[in-house]
Amino acid sequence: MPDVVVIGAGVVGAACAYYAARAGLDVVVVDRGPVAGGTTGAGEGNVLVSDKEPGPELDLALLSNGLWRELAELDGFEFEAKGGLVVAETGEVLEALTGLAGKQGVEHTVVPSGGLGDYEPHLAGGFAGGVFYPQDAQVQPMLAAATLIRRGADRFGRGTLMLRTGVTVAGFLRDGDRIGGVTTDHGDILAGAVVNAAGTWGGEVAAMAGVHVPVLPRRGFILVTEPFDEPLIRHKVYTAAYVTNVASDSEGLETSAVVEGTPSGPVLIGASRERVGFDRTVSVPVLERLARQAVELFPALADRRAIRAYCGFRPYCPDHLPVIGEDPRAPGLHHACGHEGAGIGLAPATGHLIAQTLAGHRPDLDLTPFRPDRFEERR
């Protein structure tokens, strides 16, 4: 009987398992698919502070940023501390960006129009300026999830980690009102606690326990170019519209240019957002818009071919905050889901905080803003 069952082998579930095992707990991770087979495998690997409004999510992002840098010292992570450059089309937008950076209280440098070329020599002209965030980074998400699980399987004190893929959770076991494990298509697993790290499907898992957690899918596409022999783009580069889109509640299509290189040579181009359920239909108009916006940032991309495109589903919550912590409506059930497009960046902090609560310790951050039952009063 393990101490903890983690539902979901994406990067958030992997981080929860890693830190729980590190805290000395015996952990079993279950997933109906492979490691990183859902949203994690369709992500760019953003580790950002630049797109966060001041408040609890930024606090979570700063904690996670530090933890990612600690993890990056271990073998098995493809982590790039590249920094992020947010560019503004007009002086008014630059003023707004500068104001946001001041409120965030994080490391940043305001870059005048004439200085943008020092950061990105191939950037198009005509931008009013930008803000550079040295703490922004990128991690290869599938490799990160796999490495967290592999390293979590190494012993930390008495803690162990076991991975079981191809196992579908069908319900929960109860000891009175308390969650005491899960039922699966491969048998029951008794446990002292269960962590719902099912990402976009976190709401469905919560419903099995009879609790409401409004996680909805928000589709996004990524274009991948053929490799460049020499790096074209030094940092993560995006327009100010990306910050607005991240905070938007719109169900309709929104796109904003986000462009970055990779160690292997291809350039990743995003980002789109739309709530269309779990529809995986490739939208050529969306891909055309992403390509056009990327070329407006980096004209040299016009001469390169896109070799593939893929989509994923961000786990969207109505208030744009993840759900983290034990559910008072179902004691023994802990949630770690609803991170929308920030799950990869926020995974280590989420796992660290969940592990602290599982071990009976006071978490390093106040989890009240992320409490699972906060949506009840809005129903």
* Neighbouring residues of 80: CB distance < 8 A, sequence distance ≥ 6: 137, 138, 139, 263
Segment 3-28 shows an average pLDDT of: 97
In this prediction, residue 314 carries a pLDDT of 95
pLDDT tier at 153 (50, 70, 90 boundaries)? confident
Distance CA 2, CA 312 (A): 32
CA pair distance 250, 219, nearest whole angstrom = 12
When pLDDT is averaged across residues 367-371 and rounded to a whole number, the result is 97
Distances (CA, A) of 223 to 91, 270, 289, 354: 30, 7, 11, 34
pLDDT score, position 251: 76
Mean pLDDT within 200-210: 97
Residue 158: its pLDDT value, please? 63
What value does the mean pLDDT take over residues 148-152?
93
In angstroms, the Cα distances linking 379 to 220, 256, 317, 337, 363 are 27, 32, 14, 19, 28
44 or 84, which is more confident: 84
Secondary-structure percent of the chain, ordered helix, strand, coil, rounded to 5: 35, 30, 35
pLDDT tens-digit series, residues 318-364: 999 999 999 999 999 999 999 999 999 999 999 999 999 999 999 99
Residue-level pLDDT at 308: 94
Among the listed residues 79, 82, 84, the one whose alpha carbon sits nearest the alpha carbon of residue 139:
79
Please state, rounded to an integer, the average pLDDT across all residues of the chain. 94
- Backbone φ and ψ of 236, nearest 5°: -80, 125
Class of 4-71+141-214+319-370 in CATH:
alpha beta
What percent of the chain stands above pLDDT 90?
Answer: 87
> Does pLDDT of 379 surpass 70?
no
Domain 82-134+216-316 part of CATH 3.90.1200.10? no
Mean pLDDT of 202-231: 95
Q: Is residue 245 very low, low, confident or very high in pLDDT (cuts 50, 70, 90)?
A: low
Question: Given a cut of 90, is residue 156 above it in pLDDT?
Answer: no
pLDDT, residue 254, reads 87
The Cα diameter of the chain in Å comes to 66
Predicted TM-score (pTM) of this structure: 0.95
Whether the pLDDT of residue 241 is over 90: the answer is: no
DSSP 32-52: SS-TT-SSGGG---EE-STTP
Q: What is the mean pLDDT of residues 72-86?
A: 95
| Residues in Cβ contact with 95 at an 8 Å cutoff, skipping those fewer than 6 apart | none
The answer to whether residue 244 scores a pLDDT higher than 80 is: no
pLDDT value of residue 257 = 87
Q: Write down the pLDDT at residue 154.
A: 79
pLDDT at 378: 62
pLDDT of residue 155: 63
- 1, 23, 188, 362, 374 from 5: Cα distances, Å: 10, 15, 11, 21, 24
Report pLDDT digits (tens) over 37-66: 999 999 889 999 999 999 999 999 999 999
Give domain limits for the chain. 4-71+141-214+319-370, 82-134+216-316
Residue 246 scores a pLDDT above 80 = no
What pLDDT is attached to residue 242?
A: 73
Distance CA 319, CA 375 (A): 9
Could you tell me the two tokens for 196? 């719902």
Compute the distance between CA of residue 143 and CA of residue 341 in angstroms, rounded to an integer. 18
